Amino acid sequence: MRSGWIALSLWLLIIIGWFMNLYKLTKYDFDTPLKAEATRIVGMVVFPLGAVMGYLDIEDDNVHTEDIR
């Protein structure tokens, strides 16, 4: 039973991280440089990577950080 709760918690963290990545992607302005946008788009396609990237802050000069946090 304990391993079931751990697995459920892990899946919830992964899913929440992926949606956080999607949310942060929508807050970018898609002006050059496109470093942060490109890595977040790759994270949308590669599910485990997107789940981790949702918890990371990628510094970019043209991002509206007050909207993300």
Condensed to tens digits (0 to 9), the pLDDT of residues 14-65 reads 999 999 999 999 998 888 788 889 999 999 999 899 999 999 998 765 555 5
Two structure tokens written together for 47? 């599910």
Give CA 10 to chain center in angstroms. Answer: 16
The mean pLDDT of 1-14, rounded to a whole number, is 92
CA–CA gap between residue 4 and residue 31 (Å, rounded): 44
* pLDDT score at 32: 79
Q: Is the peptide bond before 48 cis (omega within 30 degrees of 0)?
A: no
Kindly report the pTM of this predicted structure.
0.78
